[in-house]
């Protein structure tokens, strides 16, 4: 007994490690990031900034650390994700620095410096995540813990002392000198929770249940926990008036459910519920109605506010992008400071004004590639949980980019979200670095060559002895 | 600084940006089409030269066979067999497992035996104490053949004809 030779006709796709390619791309990404910093200095102050050596060294050190970490901790991970993220982050830093320079002397602020600090924390957490999670499947054990954690994170800003309201949205907590948006962390936890729950229950959701009016309804006990999870997060978000995040969480929920069950019906149901929700929100909440009105007719509310409503931010952004045109005004020659909050939600129009459509398309392509690599990871992943986790993480980047870029370009109503990796915003940056670490972890697991099974000869030698012993025992 | 210099800086910078994007695309392209495709025999090791491979196969021919069931050989459930036609087979302490183990060191859903092509695989489902082949704890779906000893807690299973 032994020695079943597998059919030799079964091809196996063996991925290469590709760390060298990653290094080359990282060097290019650094050229983009540091080059932008130099271009900002040349454009605004007509000289290469003095601190570029220190700044450049710090950026190089961060990315080299990330690269070495990936080499040691996830050697087979996707080679393109880290450089893409590094490029977006470096580019965002330079644009934030440019907006800092344009501020009048009275309100001087060093947002770029703060963002660099957050990036350092982000890269540190990226490395810690890769180190602490050697196998993404261990996260599945924390399915319900992650769900509970997400709810706690969402409730935190509503607590009296630590919660803080900024610009009408109560989504911040005070951590001494800095404030933090726990919703960004909740996003990652919710993805883990959805993926873990659906990996176990997807068959029950897709197959068990009654047929009613031509639609297969899943059993309540399968769907219940999921719906509760989703309702709690949405309720909290509506109470906090955070439209962008509600949209993001809802989209995540529908996409993960669709991918897990392979049922197109979920998209239809999700779409109908979404339409109903939007209608209800428009008629119930004035702040939602304002967003829709300014989206439909932005120029009615500019330059003078109408009925106390102003669309100055949106319109200034549109003017900026229009003035930028194809190749932009050049760093230092635009007026991006006219857009309120240009360094966070409205960084895309600021880039469009100074570098034009050419740069915006390159950036959007980079987001597209990040999402593509995430979905690709999901396809190659060998386990359900890994697939759903990668889909969820990639979807969160895709939805966040769509919601914010769609909002500032007037495609959809404006909802406040940060552009992943580009915008000024510590919590978002840190959470997105963790997302990339998890994606790299899943992709490392799925691209790693299969461990070689013990060879036939070894097995034969080992087993003959055992079989003989068994036979001896039987004969007695 | 002159208008022209600023214009050249801008164009040069946009060029760097696009060179990066195109480089990323070319890496993705080579990643898709440049990967090695090997045969699954001996779990991804380079295939033996054909002549030698044939000879070896001939030598092993009498011992070859297709597994039809999985059997528990050691442990408190020794003697239990489950036909492989029910694949994928979940092994664990839970009541929904195909092979329910009475083993304190096994998890509720401990491991799974599944087939891909002609090859059978055992996959650990994130168990607490792990699944072992020989003395090696597996962390990936691992190919098993007739008689490969898969250890779960105090239980040993194998594929049988």
Q: Is the pLDDT of residue A359 over 90?
A: yes
- With 90 as the cut, is the pLDDT of residue A3 above it? no
C-alpha A420/C-alpha A398 separation (Å) is 9
> Distance (Å) from the C-alpha of residue A236 to the closest C-alpha of chain B?
33
Residue A466, chain B, CB below 8 Å: the answer is yes
For A448-461, the pLDDT digits (tens) are 877 665 555 555 55
| 8 Å CB contact between A314 and A298 | yes
Contact A451/B at CB under 8 A: yes
Residue B35 has pLDDT above 90, yes or no: no
Per-residue pLDDT at A33: 93
Reduce the DSSP state of residue B6 to 3 states and report it: helix
How close B128 gets to chain A, by Cα (Å)? 10
DSSP A256-323: HHHHHHT-THHHHHHHHHHHHHHHHHHHH-HHHHHHHHHHH-GGGGSSS-BTTB--HHHHHHHHHHHH
Question: DSSP assignment, residue B87?
Answer: P
For residue A203, what are the CA distances in angstroms to A14, A112, B89? 30, 48, 15
Using the Cβ of A53 and the Cβ atoms of chain B, whether some distance falls under 8 Å is answered with no
Tens digits of residue pLDDT in A6-48 = 444 445 667 778 899 999 999 999 999 999 999 999 888 888 8
Taking CB atoms and an 8 Å limit, are B149 and A460 in contact across chains?
no
Residues of A in contact with B116 (CB under 8 A): 10
Over chain B, what is the mean pLDDT?
78
Residue in A with minimal Cα distance to B48: A8
Crossing angle of helices A243-261 and A384-409, in 10° steps, is: 140
For residue range A415-439, list pLDDT tens digits in order.
878 899 999 988 999 999 999 999 9
Q: Which residue has the higher pLDDT, B55 or B108?
A: B108
> And the tokens for B29?
């392209």
In the DSSP assignment, the letter for residue A208 is S
Give the chain A residue whose CA is nearest to the CA of B8. A330
Interchain contact B50–A (C-beta under 8 A): no
Quote the pLDDT of residue B125: 85
Who's near A1: CB < 8 A, 6+ residues apart? Answer: A463, A467, B63, B146, B147, B160, B161
Mean pLDDT of A112-130: 94
A267 touching B, CB under 8 A? no
Give the Cβ contact number of residue A293 at 10 Å: 18
- Interface contact B10-A32, CB threshold 8 A: no
Average pLDDT value for residue range A393-413: 93
Query: Which of A15, A333, A467 lies nearest to residue B35, judging by beta carbons?
Result: A15
- Any A CB within 8 A of B47 CB: yes
- Between chain A and chain B, the number of residue pairs with CB atoms below 8 A apart is 209
Determine the pLDDT at residue A202: 81
Ramachandran category for residue B88: left, alpha or beta (phi over 0 → left; psi -120 to 50 → alpha): beta
Instruction: For residue A439, give the H/E element and its range.
Output: helix A426-447
- CA A21 to chain B, closest CA, distance in angstroms equals 7
Q: What is the mean pLDDT of residues A302-330?
A: 86
Asked whether the beta carbons of residue A39 and residue B1 sit closer than 8 angstroms, the reply is no
Closest CA to A83 of A39, A18, A16, A133: A18
Q: Checking DSSP bridges between strand B89-92 and strand B99-100, what pairing results, if any?
A: parallel
Q: Do A333 and B6 touch (CB under 8 A)?
A: yes
A36 contact residues in B (CB cutoff 8 A): 13
Q: What is the chain A residue with the closest CA to B115?
A: A6
DSSP H helices in B34-67: 50-60
Question: Residue A13's pLDDT is what?
Answer: 67
Residue window 313-352, chain A: list those with CB within 8 Å of chain B.
Answer: 327-328, 330-333
A206-265 pLDDT tens trace: 776 666 666 666 777 777 777 777 777 778 777 777 778 888 888 888 899 889 888 777
DSSP A216-236: EEPPHHHHHHHHHHHHHHHHH
Q: State how beta strands B142-144 and B119-124 pair.
A: antiparallel
Report how far residue A350's alpha carbon sits from residue A36's, in angstroms, rounded to the nearest whole number: 14
Q: Does B25 touch chain A (CB under 8 A)?
A: yes
Taking all residues of chain A, what is their mean pLDDT, rounded to a whole number? 84
The answer to whether the Cβ–Cβ distance between B117 and A358 falls below 8 Å is no
Query: Does A219 contact B at CB distance below 8 Å?
Result: no
What is the model's pLDDT at position B44?
Answer: 40
Termini Cα distance of chain A:
21
CB contact under 8 A, B1 and A42: yes
Contact B148 A459 (CB under 8 A): yes
Is the peptide bond preceding residue A289 cis, with omega within 30 degrees of 0?
Answer: no
The per-residue pLDDT for A213 is 63
| Residue A382 DSSP SS3 | coil
pLDDT of residue A430: 94
Q: Chain B contacts of A462, Cβ < 8 Å?
A: 134, 149
Side-chain half-sphere CA neighbours of A467 within 13 A: 13
In order, the DSSP letters of A48-89 are: --TTHHHHHHHHHHHHHHHHHHHHHH-TTS-TTHHHHHHHHH
Confidence at residue A4, expressed as pLDDT on a 0 to 100 scale: 38
Residue A107: pLDDT band (50, 70, 90) is confident
- Measured CA to CA, the distance from residue A78 to residue A26 in angstroms comes to 13
pLDDT of residue A157: 84
Chain A residues with beta carbon closer than 8 angstroms to that of B1: 42, 46
Rounded CA separation A34/A40 (Å) = 10
pLDDT at position A313: 87
**Rounded Cα distance, A191 and A136, in Å:** 13
Residue A143: burial class (beta carbons within 10 Å; 0-12, 13-18, 19+): buried
Label each residue of A2-37 as H, E or C.
CCCCCCCCCEEEECCCCHHHHHHHHHHHHHHHHHHH
User: What was the pLDDT predicted at A476?
Assistant: 45
ipTM over 0.90: no
Tell me how far apart the alpha carbons of residues A374 and A378 are, in angstroms, rounded to a whole number. 6
Q: Mutation test of the interface with chain A: which of B6, B67, B127, choosing the one with the most A Cβ atoms within 10 A?
A: B6
Chain B's closest residue to A449, CA to CA, is: B44
Q: In the predicted model, is pLDDT for residue A296 greater than 70?
A: yes
Percent of chain A with pLDDT over 90: 40
DSSP A442-473: HHHHHHSPPPPPPPHHHHHHHHHHHHHHHHHH
Q: How far is B138 from chain A (nearest CA, A)?
A: 8
Q: Do A355 and B14 touch (CB under 8 A)?
A: yes
Residue A220 phi/psi, 5° resolution? -60, -40
Exposure of B26 in the CB half-sphere (CA atoms within 13 A): 9
DSSP code, position B135:
T
pLDDT tens-digit series, residues B86-140 = 778 888 888 888 888 888 888 888 888 888 877 888 888 888 888 888 888 888 8
CB neighbour class for A29 (10 Å; exposed up to 12, middle 13-18, buried from 19): buried
Note the pLDDT tens digit of each residue in A168-197.
677 788 777 777 888 889 999 999 998 998
CA dihedral A13, B45, B116, A441 (to 10 degrees): -50
Contact A373 B57 (CB under 8 A): no
Cα–Cα distance, A138 to A176 (Å, whole number): 33
Share of chain B above pLDDT 70, in %: 79
């Amino acid at each position: 007994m032994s020695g079943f030779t597998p059919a030799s006709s079964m091809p196996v796709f063996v991925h290469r490690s590709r760390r060298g390619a990653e290094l080359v791309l990282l060097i290019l990404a650094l050229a983009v990031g540091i080059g932008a910093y130099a271009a900002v200095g040349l454009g605004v102050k007509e000289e290469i900034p003095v601190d570029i050596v220190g700044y450049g060294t710090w950026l190089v050190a961060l990315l080299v650390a990330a690269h070495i970490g990936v080499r040691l901790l996830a050697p087979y991970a996707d080679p393109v994700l880290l450089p893409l993220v590094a490029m977006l982050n470096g580019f965002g830093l330079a644009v934030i620095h440019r907006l800092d320079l344009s501020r009048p002397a009275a309100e001087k602020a060093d947002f770029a410096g703060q963002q660099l600090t957050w990036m350092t924390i982000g890269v540190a957490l990226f490395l810690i995540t890769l180190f602490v999670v050697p196998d993404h499947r261990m996260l599945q054990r924390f399915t319900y813990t992650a769900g509970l954690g997400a709810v706690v994170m969402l409730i935190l800003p509503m607590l009296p002392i630590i919660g803080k309201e900024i610009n009408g949205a109560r989504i911040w907590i005070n951590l001494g000198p800095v404030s933090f948006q726990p919703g960004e962390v909740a996003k990652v936890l919710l993805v883990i929770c959805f993926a873990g729950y659906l990996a176990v229950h997807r068959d029950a959701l897709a197959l068990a249940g009654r047929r009613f009016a031509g639609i297969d309804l899943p059993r309540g006990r399968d769907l219940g926990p999921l719906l509760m999870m989703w309702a709690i997060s949405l309720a909290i978000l509506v109470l906090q008036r955070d439209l962008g995040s509600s949209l993001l969480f809802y989209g995540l929920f529908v996409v993960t459910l669709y991918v897990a069950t392979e049922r197109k019906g979920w998209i239809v149901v999700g779409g109908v519920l979404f339409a109903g929700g939007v209608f209800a929100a428009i008629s119930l909440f004035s702040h939602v109605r304002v967003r829709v009105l300014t989206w439909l007719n932005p120029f009615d509310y500019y330059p003078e506010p109408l009925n106390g409503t102003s669309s100055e931010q949106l319109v200034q952004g549109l003017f900026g992008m229009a003035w930028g045109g194809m190749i932009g005004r050049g760093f230092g020659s635009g007026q991006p400071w006219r857009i309120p909050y240009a360094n966070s939600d409205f960084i895309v129009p600021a880039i469009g004004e100074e570098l034009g459509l050419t740069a915006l398309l390159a950036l959007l392509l980079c987001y597209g590639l990040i999402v593509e690599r995430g979905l690709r990871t999901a396809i190659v992943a060998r386990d359900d949980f890994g697939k759903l986790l990668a889909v969820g993480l990639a979807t969160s980047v895709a939805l966040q980019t769509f919601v914010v870029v769609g909002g500032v370009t007037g495609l959809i109503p404006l909802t406040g979200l940060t552009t992943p990796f580009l915008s000024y915003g510590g919590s978002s940056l840190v959470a997105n670095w963790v997302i990339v670490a998890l994606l790299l972890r899943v992709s490392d697991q799925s691209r790693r060559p299969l461990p070689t099974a013990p060879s036939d000869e070894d097995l034969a030698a080992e087993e003959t002895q055992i079989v003989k012993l068994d036979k001896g025992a039987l004969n007695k | 600084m002159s208008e022209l210099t600023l214009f050249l800086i801008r164009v040069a910078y946009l060029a760097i940006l696009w060179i990066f994007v195109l480089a990323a695309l070319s890496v993705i392209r080579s990643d898709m089409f440049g990967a090695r495709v090997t045969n699954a025999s001996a779990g991804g090791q380079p295939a033996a030269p054909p002549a030698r491979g044939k000879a070896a196969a001939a030598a092993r021919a009498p011992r070859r066979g297709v597994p039809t069931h999985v059997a528990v050989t050691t442990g408190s459930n020794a003697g239990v067999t489950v036909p492989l036609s029910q694949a994928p087979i979940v092994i664990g302490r839970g009541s929904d497992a195909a092979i329910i183990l009475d083993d304190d060191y096994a998890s509720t859903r401990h491991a799974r035996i599944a087939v891909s092509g002609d090859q059978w695989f055992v996959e650990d489902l994130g168990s607490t104490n792990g699944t072992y082949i020989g003395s090696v704890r597996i962390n990936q779906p691992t190919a098993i053949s007739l008689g490969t000893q898969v250890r779960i807690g105090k239980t040993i299973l194998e594929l049988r004809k």
